[in-house]
Chains A and B, each alone.
Chain A
């Protein structure tokens, strides 16, 4: 989206690269705070990058 590597995104968000990989592969649903910070970084609405299917916490 912004031509960022996983490492760079992790650095900007203050998380590990493993967390970025887990979010990308739908294995980890980020906290609301992190989701908002990511949406702010990419200048999009939160629902444009994250959706929850079934309304259950997948973590």
Chain B
């Protein structure tokens, strides 16, 4: 005011002087509004984005929890069933055991069993060839061969050569069985869980009709207390 007033008389015209305060107020208001709008809106937007992500994650977690709780009771048997169909190790032994059981139930004779002369990998799956001869009457041999598709681990017949002589049928068969390593890691926590689809459920139903192998895994028994052989 010292500048604009000199010896008690204002240097600024009165007309302008009365306009100063409203202009200053409006300028301050505009500056504040711009600042608040800039900072506030960006803050609100970032918080809203965070909230949207959090709510999406929450929905995923909730859905995952519900699915897991829903399948909790039955998933153990399903896991056993599916693992017996496609095991994580070479299933040759289990398949041979199944074939032998099948042969005795169909009254045919199994011979020349050979395993794995030609094994390979296909789309993440390993396969092993099992070849054998099966002797019996024509009908029983065909029944036996048909039944190979009803055993677990799942196997497929590559080729069959059937020869008949004097009422005895011999089928030289090559069968392929499959295995694949188990998945090593779980999907990320934020990945939505998928329940078993209708197609998967129908696959499970068809797997449940397969004859499981008589042995799956031999678990070592826990050490037991040894009795003293010298006490009578």
Binding partners A and B: no
Tell me the A residues contacting B by CB distance below 8 Å: none
